């Protein structure tokens, strides 16, 4: 989740991902997306609560609003652990966005909807590659 530079390796519509700045609370990152011939870049501030959540807010880009939260909810009972000694979790993702320009929204919104709908599956598959299936 927080390995932003690796995003192009497993998100097929992510052409580039870079961390612009990092501090104890999180990172500011810029993503360049391209899907079905439509490309856009945007910058977000991502604040991390380890093992609990990642909250993302817009810094700049084609949106008037971009606000999202990933939540990691433990599934195992306290004191129990899954494979490799780690408990499994349920992932919840909420994303709210609105484009700043109506014409841009007509062109990009259907594309961005498709991207947003694949995010959780893409990150779950990546976690299985990196950490093994649970």
- Give the pLDDT of residue 105: 84
Among residues 29, 28, 108, which one has the least CA distance to residue 62? 108
Helix (H, G, I), strand (E, B) or coil at 114: helix
List strands edge to edge, sheet with 38-49. 14-23, 26-35, 38-49, 53-60, 63-74, 89-99
Return the number of other C-beta atoms located less than 10 Å from residue 103's C-beta.
8
| Domain that includes residue 58, residue range | 4-131
The answer, yes or no, to whether residue 55 has pLDDT greater than 90, is yes
Residues with Cβ within 8 Å of 9's Cβ and at least 6 positions away in sequence, in order, are none
Residue owning tokens 């606000």: 67
Between 20 and 83, the more confident residue is 20
Domain count, the chain: 1
Angle ∠(54,30,3) on CA atoms, nearest 5: 50
- Give the pLDDT of residue 30: 98
**Range with top average pLDDT, 6-15, 36-45, 105-114:** 6-15
Task: For residue 28, give the CATH number of its domain.
Answer: 3.30.530.20
Q: Is the pTM above the cut of 0.85?
A: no
- Give the pLDDT of residue 22: 97
């Amino acid at each position: 989740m927080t390995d932003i530079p690796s995003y192009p390796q497993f998100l097929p519509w992510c052409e580039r991902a870079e961390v612009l700045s990092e501090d104890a609370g999180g990172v500011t990152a810029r993503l360049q997306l391209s899907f079905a011939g439509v490309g856009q870049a945007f910058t977000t501030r991502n604040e991390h609560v380890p093992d609990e959540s990642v909250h993302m807010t817009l810094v700049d880009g084609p949106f008037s609003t971009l606000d999202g939260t990933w939540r990691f909810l433990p599934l195992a009972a306290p004191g129990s652990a899954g494979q490799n000694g780690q408990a499994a979790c349920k992932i919840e993702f909420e994303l709210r966005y609105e484009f700043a320009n109506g014409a841009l929204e007509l062109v990009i919104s259907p594309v961005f909807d498709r991207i947003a709908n694949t995010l959780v599956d893409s990150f779950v598959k990546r976690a299985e590659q990196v950490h093994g299936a649970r």
